């Protein structure tokens, strides 16, 4: 298997990463983008179902299965972060 050389590797090709990859490629650089999770295609977004994607947020990680954690140092226990709600108090 031949090794291909690249100029830039972008980890996380979301909204900003995708734009960055496109602009660097237009500038002539060889770009590789890495993304976690399954590949989505047009059928996954058919009709942009508001209930599914915006209300139920099915494209985002499920917080009960993949909680966002924080710890002040490597020895501390990683506990799920609480939710801070500004403006609706």
Task: List the structure tokens of 23.
Answer: 């602009």
d(CA 10, CA 7): 10
C-alpha distances (whole Å) from 27 to each of 18, 20, 21, 24 are 14, 11, 10, 5
- What total number of domains does the chain contain? 1
By the 10 Å C-beta count (0-12 exposed, 13-18 middle, 19+ buried), 82 is classed as exposed
- What string of pLDDT tens digits covers the 89 residues of the chain? 678 899 999 998 888 998 999 999 999 999 999 988 777 776 766 666 677 666 776 766 666 776 666 667 777 776 665 655 555 54
Domain assignment of residue 23, given as a range: 8-36+47-76
**pTM of the entire predicted model:** 0.45
How far is the C-alpha of 10 from the C-alpha of 21, rounded, in Å? 7
Residue 84 lies in a domain: no
In a domain, 16, yes or no: yes
Which pLDDT score, from 0 to 100, does residue 28 have?
96
For residue 85, tell me if it sits in a domain. no
For residue 82, being part of any structural domain is answered with no
In a domain, 42, yes or no: no
22: in domain: yes
Q: Classify residue 1: in a domain, yes or no.
A: no
């Amino acid at each position: 298997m031949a090794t291909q050389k690249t100029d830039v590797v972008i980890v996380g090709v979301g909204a900003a990463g995708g734009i960055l990859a496109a602009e660097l490629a237009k500038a002539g650089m060889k770009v590789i983008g890495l993304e976690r999770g399954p590949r989505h295609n047009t059928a996954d977004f058919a009709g942009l179902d508001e209930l599914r994607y915006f209300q139920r947020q099915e494209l985002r990680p499920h917080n009960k299965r993949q909680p966002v954690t924080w710890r002040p140092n490597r020895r501390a226990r990683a506990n799920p972060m609480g939710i801070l709600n500004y403006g609706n108090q």
